[in-house]
Amino acid sequence: MKKQRVLAAAVMTPVAIAIVLLLPTHWLAGVFAVTLLLALWELSRMVGVEHTIGRVAYLAGNAAIMAWLAWFGLPGLGLVIVLLGVMFWLLVCLWLLRFDFASGDGAGPRLLKLLAGSLAVIPAWVALGILHAGNPGEPALVGPGWALLVLAMIWASDTGAYFTGMRFGRRKLSPRISPNKTWEGFWGGMALSVAVGLAVAPFLGVGLAQLPAMALLAAAVCVAAVIGDLFESLIKRHAGCKDSGTLIPGHGGVYDRLDSVLAALPVAVLVKAVLGL
């Protein structure tokens, strides 16, 4: 399993980097939209939508929202959606404290989790587009560079948490939701995320005086990534499954790879804007 995981990561990582750096924003948005819809397909299965027609309708609804935003979105609407996404993840923090909330098999819990999936996916999709497009007047690669940096900080958070937790982990972070996560792993992930942010900052035109702000951005990305990861773990605990799917060898499903990204992207855009980076 570990060998499969490493091989899959070795293939996916350079492909993801190439897509972010080389594709125009509208093409990147299309690729990311398809990936997110695959994650929602897995989510609909996990929450108990048994009929294919219902799952297709759910995906079609989310795809229609993305298409409308791409073609008819109003100026400034993207930032409003990002803010709504951050507010959703703040509510998720409360959800994580109530393990049994919406844990039943009825229509109510199912609809709530489907809505949660849309509230996670749409703002993340918008946020990546905002990061990648950059600001008017910036060099062409600055926007893609920021998008790749935020993704790199998320990956660093996950990687640092995994290896630090495996070596030093003692205190459980959330034993009922994700027994393998530890506070030591959390801090290790944050340290690596901040280190990546500070190392790349000069290449994006971030001056010495802005480095504390960059460190704060990386820390916020790390916290959000953990929340996104825990939320998917909660959904899987409710569903009684280990992985969201089997599409990626050694990694599970698409949602398993995007759980941290969904929460971290809108938080990154908002914090970046507030800090003036």
pLDDT digits (tens, 9 = 90+) for 233-257: 999 999 888 888 766 655 678 999 9
Q: Which of 252, 1, 228 is nearest to 117 (CA)?
A: 228
Question: Which long-range contacts link 58-63 to residues 24+ away (Cβ below 8 Å)?
Answer: 58/114, 61/118, 62/36, 62/37, 62/118, 62/121, 62/122, 63/33, 63/37
- The pLDDT score that the predictor gives to residue 248 is 63
Instruction: Please count the other Cβ atoms lying within 10 Å of the Cβ belonging to residue 274.
Output: 12
Cβ proximity of 265 and 147 under 8 Å: no
Question: Residues 17-67: pLDDT tens digits?
Answer: 999 999 999 999 999 999 999 999 999 999 989 889 999 999 999 999 999
Q: Which of 239, 92, 114 is nearest to 174 (CA)?
A: 92
- Report CA torsion sign: 126, 135, 139, 263: negative
Q: Give the three-class secondary structure for 178.
A: strand
Cβ proximity of 212 and 221 under 8 Å: no
| pLDDT at residue 6 tops 90 | no
- The pLDDT score that the predictor gives to residue 106 is 86
Q: Which of 10, 20, 274, 12 is nearest to 145 (CA)?
A: 20
pLDDT band at 1 (very low <50, low <70, confident <90, very high): very low
In this prediction the pTM is 0.93
User: Cα Rg for the chain, rounded, in angstroms?
Assistant: 18
Question: Residues 75-101: pLDDT tens digits?
Answer: 789 999 999 999 999 999 999 999 999
- The pLDDT score that the predictor gives to residue 215 is 97
Q: Report phi then psi at 235, rounded to 5.
A: -60, -40
d(CA 217, CA 201): 11
